[in-house]
Copies of this chain bind each other. A is one copy, B any other.
Amino acid sequence: MIDIHHRIGVVSPSTDGVYSALTTIDGLAAWWTTDTAGDAGLGGKIELRFLPGGFDIEVIEVVAGERVRWRVVDGPPEWIGTTIDWQLSRVEGFTIVLFTHEGWAEPGEFLSHCSTKWAIYLMSLKALVETGTGSPSPDDVRISDWH
Contacts and interface: CB of A to CB of B under 8 A. Distances in A.
Interface in A30-59: none
Size bracket of the A interface: 20 to 34
A23 to B, nearest CB: 21
B144 A112 contact: no
Interface in A108-127: 109, 111-113, 115-116, 119-120, 122-123, 126
Contacts of A7: 109, 112-113, 115-116, 143-144, 146
A98 B143 CA distance: 12
The 10 residue pairs across chains A and B that have the minimum distance between CB atoms: A9-B144, A119-B119, A7-B112, A5-B112, A6-B116, A7-B113, A9-B145, A94-B145, A116-B119, A5-B115
